[in-house]
Each structure stands twice: as structure tokens, then as C-alpha cells.
Chain A
Amino acid sequence: GAGVSQSPSNKVTEKGKDVELRCDPISGHTALYWYRQSLGQGLEFLIYFQGNSAPDKSGLPSDRFSAERTGGSVSTLTIQRTQQEDSAVYLCASSLSITGSYEQYFGPGTRLTVT
């Protein structure tokens, strides 16, 4: 079946502009996660959704970052007034549920470059 998809695959933007990153999870997966991976670094957890709800937003790096999920499926991560330090690969993952301990399946990522 289809895996997790993300778009765009690459995004170059100017400092100060807003960007939207999209994630389509695996069909039937109720849990969705966003991570950030900077060059040579490990994955940094940003936020998770169970259904449309995001109970914990404390992982978001600043108030310029926001995320939403509609219809229990597609999610959008928005970065406002981008800064150069926002340059990274943004990865989305989905799993069957938040409860229990299910493996997460990752998309290919969106490489964001802020110039």
C-alpha cells in the first residue's frame, strides 16, 4: 500500500517568508508525528496528533511554528517568518495509534532551505 507522503520534497525560501509543509499519512493511521532533522543531527520531535487533536505542543521550537490536522488525515506544518536556523529536513511519520507502542512509518521528508 501507499506509504507516508510529504510535499514539497524541497523548498527554498527567503528569510522572513512563511512556508507550509504537507504530510499525507498511511490510510487508517490515527497518529501522526512531525520531526526535524538538522544536518548531521538526530531527529528532534516537534508535535504529534491523535486524530485531529494535538495535546502537547511543547516540542515546537517557537511560536512561529504551528501545525494542524484536518479530517484525521492530512497535516500541515506552518513556519511563519522563517529564519536561517529553520533550515533542516522536516519528517512526518504515522502509526496506528498513540496508545500502545506502535512503530512509526516515515515519509521521505521536506528539505527546507532558508536563504
Chain B
Amino acid sequence: EDQVTQSPEALRLQEGESSSLNCSYTVSGLRGLFWYRQDPGKGPEFLFTLYSAGEEKEKERLKATLTKKESFLHITAPKPEDSATYLCAVQAGYDMRFGAGTRLTVKP
């Protein structure tokens, strides 16, 4: 059965303190791994898609990487506005399986 596990569940950082979020997955025939950001009361907002091991993508202070078993979302010098829940999802068949998310809080 496809599984997606995100860690940590919650992360508190000081502004400027870089860190990484982890997404471990077990899936047969990965078609894509997706990262989303979700703010309270809103739907998830698409960030990145990664398709194969070794692939990396960047957007502002965020960088996503992918191996055969896990993906990392690296946050460099975060700002308070980066506070949100970050969701990882894998697609093997036609549906997308989501992890429970990491709730990130960045304090000024």
C-alpha cells in the first residue's frame, strides 16, 4: 500500500534559521512527488513537482529534492510569512496520496 510520512509534525524556527522538512514514501511506480503549502482556512497551494531521483527545484527560499525513498523541502533563511503547513503528496495511479503535513511556524 502506498504510504507517505512527513516529519516533523511541527517545526518552530526563528526568522533566518534554515531547516529541512522530510517526506518519506513507499509507492510502486512513482509518477510524481508534489509539495504544497496550505494556509489556515485555505486550499493547498502548489509549490513543486519532482519526477525522478536526483531532481531538484527551487523557488525563492524553498528548495525541494528527491531520492528514491524520500524528499526534502529545504527552507533557507525563512521569514514569518513562510509560516504554513507544508504537504507532500505522491502520485502512482490516478489519485494522489497526501502526508499529514508539517506545520511550520517562523517567529520574527
Contacts and interface: CB of A to CB of B under 8 A. Distances in A.
Whether A associates with B in a native complex is: yes
Contacts of B71: none
Contacts, number: 52
Given A101-B51, A103-B49, A107-B43, A42 B87 contact: yes
A43 B32 contact: no
B98 interface: yes
Given A45-B95, A101-B49, A108 B43 contact: yes
Given A43-B87, A48-B95, A103 B46 contact: yes
A43 B41 CA distance: 14
A45 B97 contact: yes
Contact of B94 (A56, A106, A108): A56
A105 B87 contact: no
A59 B95 contact: yes
A21 interface: no
A25 B84 CA distance: 24
Contacts of A43: 44, 87, 89, 98
A10 to B, nearest CB: 10
A104 B96 contact: yes
Nearest to B47: A103
Q: Would you list the 8 A-B pairs with minimal beta carbon distance, nearest first?
A: A106-B43, A101-B32, A42-B100, A43-B98, A101-B31, A45-B95, A103-B46, A42-B98
27 contacts: A4-B43, A33-B96, A35-B98, A41-B100, A43-B44, A43-B89, A45-B98, A48-B94, A56-B95, A91-B43, A91-B44, A98-B94, A101-B31, A101-B32, A101-B51, A101-B91, A103-B34, A103-B46, A103-B49, A104-B34, A104-B96, A106-B43, A106-B45, A106-B46, A108-B42, A109-B42, A109-B43
Given A33-B95, A106-B36, 19 more contacts: A33-B96, A41-B100, A42-B87, A43-B44, A43-B98, A45-B96, A45-B98, A55-B94, A56-B94, A98-B94, A101-B31, A101-B51, A101-B91, A103-B49, A105-B46, A106-B45, A106-B46, A108-B42, A109-B43
